[in-house]
Amino acid sequence: MKIIIIEDEKPAARRLQRMIEKLGVSVSFMLHSVEEAVEWFRSNEHPDLIFLDIQLSDGLSFEIFDAVEVKSAVIFTTAYDEYALRAFKLNSIDYLLKPIDDEELQEALEKYRNRIPARSIQLDFEEVKKMLVNPLDRQYKKRFTVKIGQHLKMITTEDIECFYSENKGTYIHTSNGRNYLLDTTLDALEDELSPDTFYRVSRKFFVNVKAIRDIIAYTNARLKLRLHKYSEQEIIVSRERVKGFKDWLG
Protein backbone atom coordinates (compact mmCIF):
# COMPACT_ATOMS: atom_id res chain seq x y z
CA MET A 1 0.00 0.00 0.00
CA LYS A 2 1.42 3.36 -1.05
CA ILE A 3 0.45 6.20 1.30
CA ILE A 4 1.23 9.93 1.25
CA ILE A 5 0.42 12.65 3.77
CA ILE A 6 -0.55 16.20 2.72
CA GLU A 7 -0.30 18.46 5.77
CA ASP A 8 1.13 21.98 6.04
CA GLU A 9 2.16 21.67 9.71
CA LYS A 10 5.33 19.58 9.57
CA PRO A 11 5.25 18.47 13.26
CA ALA A 12 1.66 17.26 12.75
CA ALA A 13 2.70 15.45 9.56
CA ARG A 14 5.59 13.71 11.34
CA ARG A 15 3.33 12.72 14.24
CA LEU A 16 0.78 11.21 11.84
CA GLN A 17 3.57 9.39 10.01
CA ARG A 18 4.74 7.83 13.29
CA MET A 19 1.19 6.80 14.16
CA ILE A 20 0.64 5.18 10.75
CA GLU A 21 3.97 3.37 10.77
CA LYS A 22 3.28 2.14 14.31
CA LEU A 23 0.40 0.22 12.70
CA GLY A 24 2.83 -1.51 10.36
CA VAL A 25 2.20 0.63 7.27
CA SER A 26 4.90 2.83 5.75
CA VAL A 27 4.39 6.38 4.47
CA SER A 28 5.96 6.97 1.06
CA PHE A 29 5.98 10.76 0.97
CA MET A 30 4.88 13.93 2.78
CA LEU A 31 3.72 17.12 1.05
CA HIS A 32 3.01 20.47 2.69
CA SER A 33 1.21 22.80 0.26
CA VAL A 34 -1.25 22.89 -2.64
CA GLU A 35 1.48 23.95 -5.08
CA GLU A 36 3.86 21.22 -3.94
CA ALA A 37 1.14 18.57 -4.12
CA VAL A 38 -0.01 19.55 -7.63
CA GLU A 39 3.56 19.40 -8.93
CA TRP A 40 4.14 16.04 -7.23
CA PHE A 41 0.95 14.46 -8.62
CA ARG A 42 1.80 15.61 -12.13
CA SER A 43 5.16 13.84 -12.12
CA ASN A 44 4.64 10.79 -9.87
CA GLU A 45 2.52 7.65 -9.76
CA HIS A 46 -0.51 8.36 -7.60
CA PRO A 47 -0.70 6.58 -4.24
CA ASP A 48 -3.33 4.14 -3.02
CA LEU A 49 -4.30 6.36 -0.10
CA ILE A 50 -3.91 10.04 0.85
CA PHE A 51 -4.13 11.47 4.37
CA LEU A 52 -5.25 14.99 3.57
CA ASP A 53 -5.61 18.16 5.62
CA ILE A 54 -8.24 20.67 4.40
CA GLN A 55 -6.56 24.01 5.03
CA LEU A 56 -3.01 24.19 3.72
CA SER A 57 -0.62 27.13 3.91
CA ASP A 58 -1.40 28.33 0.37
CA GLY A 59 -5.10 27.45 0.08
CA LEU A 60 -7.72 24.73 0.44
CA SER A 61 -6.62 21.23 -0.53
CA PHE A 62 -9.59 20.98 -2.91
CA GLU A 63 -7.54 23.12 -5.29
CA ILE A 64 -5.26 20.12 -5.81
CA PHE A 65 -8.15 18.19 -7.32
CA ASP A 66 -9.15 21.12 -9.50
CA ALA A 67 -5.69 21.05 -11.05
CA VAL A 68 -5.04 17.29 -11.22
CA GLU A 69 -7.36 14.30 -11.58
CA VAL A 70 -6.52 12.22 -8.53
CA LYS A 71 -8.03 8.75 -8.21
CA SER A 72 -6.53 7.84 -4.83
CA ALA A 73 -8.69 7.06 -1.81
CA VAL A 74 -8.72 9.90 0.73
CA ILE A 75 -8.87 10.07 4.52
CA PHE A 76 -9.25 13.62 5.79
CA THR A 77 -7.29 14.72 8.85
CA THR A 78 -9.00 17.91 9.85
CA ALA A 79 -10.24 20.27 12.53
CA TYR A 80 -12.71 21.68 9.98
CA ASP A 81 -16.29 22.63 10.83
CA GLU A 82 -19.45 20.58 10.98
CA TYR A 83 -20.53 21.33 7.41
CA ALA A 84 -17.41 19.67 6.06
CA LEU A 85 -17.71 16.62 8.29
CA ARG A 86 -21.32 16.12 7.24
CA ALA A 87 -20.34 16.35 3.59
CA PHE A 88 -17.52 13.85 3.95
CA LYS A 89 -19.80 11.29 5.58
CA LEU A 90 -22.48 11.81 2.95
CA ASN A 91 -20.00 11.00 0.21
CA SER A 92 -18.42 7.99 1.97
CA ILE A 93 -15.09 9.77 2.45
CA ASP A 94 -13.55 8.93 5.80
CA TYR A 95 -12.18 11.59 8.13
CA LEU A 96 -10.26 11.91 11.39
CA LEU A 97 -10.69 14.87 13.71
CA LYS A 98 -7.54 16.42 15.13
CA PRO A 99 -5.99 15.57 17.51
CA ILE A 100 -6.02 12.15 15.89
CA ASP A 101 -6.78 9.17 18.09
CA ASP A 102 -4.79 5.91 17.62
CA GLU A 103 -7.88 3.72 17.70
CA GLU A 104 -9.77 5.83 15.16
CA LEU A 105 -6.75 5.89 12.88
CA GLN A 106 -6.61 2.10 12.96
CA GLU A 107 -10.35 1.90 12.24
CA ALA A 108 -9.95 4.26 9.28
CA LEU A 109 -7.17 2.13 7.79
CA GLU A 110 -9.28 -1.01 8.26
CA LYS A 111 -12.19 0.72 6.57
CA TYR A 112 -9.93 1.54 3.62
CA ARG A 113 -8.69 -2.05 3.38
CA ASN A 114 -12.22 -3.44 3.45
CA ARG A 115 -13.82 -0.78 1.29
CA ILE A 116 -15.96 -1.34 -1.77
CA PRO A 117 -14.14 0.12 -4.81
CA ALA A 118 -14.82 3.84 -4.68
CA ARG A 119 -16.47 6.07 -7.24
CA SER A 120 -14.42 8.76 -8.88
CA ILE A 121 -12.77 10.86 -6.19
CA GLN A 122 -13.22 13.92 -8.40
CA LEU A 123 -17.02 13.50 -8.31
CA ASP A 124 -16.93 13.17 -4.55
CA PHE A 125 -14.93 16.37 -4.24
CA GLU A 126 -17.37 18.27 -6.42
CA GLU A 127 -20.22 17.27 -4.10
CA VAL A 128 -18.21 18.17 -1.00
CA LYS A 129 -17.31 21.59 -2.37
CA LYS A 130 -20.95 22.34 -3.19
CA MET A 131 -21.95 21.64 0.39
CA LEU A 132 -19.09 23.72 1.76
CA VAL A 133 -19.81 26.70 -0.44
CA ASN A 134 -23.55 26.85 0.18
CA PRO A 135 -24.19 25.52 3.72
CA LEU A 136 -26.79 28.21 4.47
CA ASP A 137 -28.92 27.09 1.52
CA ARG A 138 -29.65 23.74 3.17
CA GLN A 139 -33.02 23.01 4.74
CA TYR A 140 -33.00 21.28 8.12
CA LYS A 141 -35.82 19.51 9.96
CA LYS A 142 -37.96 21.70 12.20
CA ARG A 143 -40.02 18.91 13.77
CA PHE A 144 -40.03 15.16 14.34
CA THR A 145 -42.96 12.74 14.53
CA VAL A 146 -42.94 10.06 17.23
CA LYS A 147 -45.40 7.23 17.86
CA ILE A 148 -47.11 6.96 21.23
CA GLY A 149 -49.31 3.88 21.28
CA GLN A 150 -51.75 4.35 18.41
CA HIS A 151 -51.12 8.07 18.24
CA LEU A 152 -48.55 10.28 16.50
CA LYS A 153 -47.04 13.27 18.23
CA MET A 154 -45.14 16.13 16.57
CA ILE A 155 -42.18 17.61 18.46
CA THR A 156 -40.48 20.78 17.23
CA THR A 157 -36.69 21.04 17.37
CA GLU A 158 -37.08 24.05 19.66
CA ASP A 159 -38.54 21.71 22.30
CA ILE A 160 -35.70 19.15 22.06
CA GLU A 161 -32.83 19.28 24.56
CA CYS A 162 -30.87 16.41 23.08
CA PHE A 163 -30.89 13.30 20.93
CA TYR A 164 -29.18 10.23 22.40
CA SER A 165 -28.63 6.54 21.71
CA GLU A 166 -29.25 3.79 24.23
CA ASN A 167 -29.61 0.01 23.81
CA LYS A 168 -29.48 0.34 20.00
CA GLY A 169 -32.32 2.88 20.04
CA THR A 170 -32.31 6.61 19.26
CA TYR A 171 -34.27 8.92 21.54
CA ILE A 172 -35.44 12.51 21.85
CA HIS A 173 -35.33 14.20 25.25
CA THR A 174 -37.61 17.23 25.41
CA SER A 175 -37.50 20.42 27.43
CA ASN A 176 -40.36 19.14 29.60
CA GLY A 177 -38.33 16.07 30.61
CA ARG A 178 -39.94 13.43 28.39
CA ASN A 179 -38.16 10.76 26.31
CA TYR A 180 -39.43 9.51 22.95
CA LEU A 181 -38.11 6.74 20.70
CA LEU A 182 -37.25 7.74 17.12
CA ASP A 183 -37.19 5.51 14.06
CA THR A 184 -33.76 6.71 12.91
CA THR A 185 -30.08 6.77 13.91
CA LEU A 186 -27.76 9.48 15.19
CA ASP A 187 -25.71 9.17 12.01
CA ALA A 188 -28.80 9.92 9.90
CA LEU A 189 -29.57 12.94 12.09
CA GLU A 190 -26.29 14.60 11.09
CA ASP A 191 -27.84 15.53 7.74
CA GLU A 192 -31.15 16.65 9.28
CA LEU A 193 -30.20 18.90 12.21
CA SER A 194 -29.16 22.52 11.91
CA PRO A 195 -25.51 22.88 13.02
CA ASP A 196 -26.40 26.32 14.37
CA THR A 197 -28.56 24.66 17.02
CA PHE A 198 -27.32 21.08 17.51
CA TYR A 199 -23.83 19.65 17.93
CA ARG A 200 -22.78 16.00 18.11
CA VAL A 201 -20.60 15.96 21.21
CA SER A 202 -19.94 12.21 21.11
CA ARG A 203 -21.04 9.04 19.37
CA LYS A 204 -24.04 8.94 21.76
CA PHE A 205 -25.30 12.53 21.95
CA PHE A 206 -26.47 15.54 19.98
CA VAL A 207 -27.16 18.55 22.23
CA ASN A 208 -29.13 21.74 21.71
CA VAL A 209 -27.03 24.82 22.51
CA LYS A 210 -30.00 26.40 24.35
CA ALA A 211 -30.30 23.37 26.64
CA ILE A 212 -26.75 23.58 28.05
CA ARG A 213 -26.87 24.66 31.70
CA ASP A 214 -23.23 24.06 32.67
CA ILE A 215 -19.90 23.00 31.11
CA ILE A 216 -17.35 21.33 33.38
CA ALA A 217 -13.71 20.35 32.78
CA TYR A 218 -13.46 16.55 32.80
CA THR A 219 -10.71 13.93 32.71
CA ASN A 220 -8.42 13.41 29.67
CA ALA A 221 -9.03 16.93 28.31
CA ARG A 222 -12.74 16.25 27.85
CA LEU A 223 -15.77 18.28 28.91
CA LYS A 224 -18.88 17.31 30.85
CA LEU A 225 -22.22 18.94 30.05
CA ARG A 226 -25.25 19.48 32.22
CA LEU A 227 -28.56 20.21 30.54
CA HIS A 228 -31.62 21.85 32.07
CA LYS A 229 -33.69 18.65 32.20
CA TYR A 230 -31.77 15.62 30.92
CA SER A 231 -29.94 13.70 33.67
CA GLU A 232 -30.22 9.98 32.81
CA GLN A 233 -26.62 9.59 31.56
CA GLU A 234 -23.45 11.68 31.76
CA ILE A 235 -22.96 13.78 28.65
CA ILE A 236 -19.24 13.89 27.88
CA VAL A 237 -17.75 15.83 24.98
CA SER A 238 -15.25 13.34 23.53
CA ARG A 239 -11.64 14.53 23.40
CA GLU A 240 -11.45 14.71 19.61
CA ARG A 241 -14.62 16.86 19.51
CA VAL A 242 -13.69 19.38 22.23
CA LYS A 243 -12.06 21.90 19.88
CA GLY A 244 -14.94 21.78 17.42
CA PHE A 245 -17.41 22.10 20.29
CA LYS A 246 -15.67 25.20 21.63
CA ASP A 247 -15.61 26.72 18.15
CA TRP A 248 -19.32 25.92 17.80
CA LEU A 249 -20.07 27.70 21.06
CA GLY A 250 -18.17 30.74 19.74
Q: Which fold has domain 143-249?
A: OB fold (Dihydrolipoamide Acetyltransferase, E2P) (2.40.50)
Res 220: pLDDT: 87
Max avg pLDDT among 46-55, 106-115, 157-166, 238-247? 157-166
Cβ distance 153 to 180 under 8 Å?
yes
Where does the chain hold its CATH 3.40.50.2300 domain(s)?
3-136
Q: Who has greater pLDDT, 121 or 2?
A: 2
Res 121: pLDDT: 55
Query: Taking residues 237-244, what's their average pLDDT?
Result: 91
Residue % of the chain over a pLDDT of 90? 51
- Pairing mode of beta strands 143-148, 179-182: unpaired
Res 45: pLDDT: 92
3-136 carries CATH number 3.40.50.2300: yes
Residue 205 has pLDDT above 90, yes or no: yes
Res 26: pLDDT: 94
pLDDT, averaged across the chain: 86
Neighbouring C-beta atoms of residue 129, cutoff 10 Å: 15
Res 127: pLDDT: 60
Res 181: pLDDT: 95
Cβ distance 97 to 78 under 8 Å?
yes
Rg over CA atoms, the chain: 20
pLDDT digits (tens, 9 = 90+) for 4-60: 999 999 999 999 999 999 999 999 999 999 999 999 999 999 999 999 988 888 888
Query: Taking residues 88-117, what's their average pLDDT?
Result: 77
Distance, in Å, from the CA atom of 221 to the CA atom of 94, rounded to the nearest integer, reads 24
Min mean pLDDT across 26-30, 130-134, 216-220 is at 130-134
Residue 136 has pLDDT above 70, yes or no: no
Residue 169 has pLDDT above 80, yes or no: yes
Neighbouring C-beta atoms of residue 212, cutoff 10 Å: 18
Residue 92 has pLDDT above 50, yes or no: no
Where does the chain hold its CATH 2.40.50.1020 domain(s)?
143-249
